[in-house]
Amino acid sequence: MPKQKITTFLWFNQEAEEAVDFYTSIFNNSSIISSSRYSKGAPMPEGTLMTAMFVLDGQEFIALNGGPMYQFTPAISLSVACEDQREIDYLWDALCSGGSPGRCGWLKDRFGLSWQIVPKNMGELLSPPDAEKAKRAMQAMMQMNKLDIQVLKNA
């Protein structure tokens, strides 16, 4: 796999290993590439995961157990372009488990990371040539938590 130029780096308090295992279990084409652990005398207990490089559906990420100094905010989210409603439903249910739903396809997972679970044709659904249809689709989306492709198409 060619190395990405830009890789998303995720700072966790102490849940990086659990998060990486969780994320790689729900996305296809995912794996843990490498990991390192804290040694004796480090800021975390010896043997605790320090970093893990992992792949989610072909996209590389790095996770760090860095302590409580920094927290995730919804200002940064991972957007997943889903093929169909079945994929939206699956990822929404999996990622929302233990987390909390948000509006317009956004959710926060149990680790505090924000995700956008959206159809791959989101632009087409919200910006059809008919301005009134576009307005209705946008209004419909603003009322949703998990996105419903059929409702957006029929708006």
Under-70 pLDDT residues of the chain: 1-2
Angstrom distance (rounded) from CA 128 to CA 131: 7
For residue range 20-39, list pLDDT tens digits in order: 999 999 999 999 999 999 99
* Res 4: pLDDT: 83
For position 128, what pLDDT does the model report?
Answer: 83
Closest CA to 100 of 145, 70, 139, 144: 145
| Complete edge-to-edge strand list for the sheet that includes strand 77-82 | 77-82, 114-119, 106-108, 100-101
Cβ pair 36, 47 in contact under 8 A: no
pLDDT at 28: 94
All domains of the chain in start order, with CATH: 1-70 (3.30.720.100), 72-155 (3.10.180.10)
pLDDT at 2: 57
The per-residue pLDDT for 3 is 73
Could you give the CA distance from residue 102 to residue 68 in angstroms, rounded to a whole number?
24
Main-chain phi, psi angles of 38, to 5 degrees: -70, 145
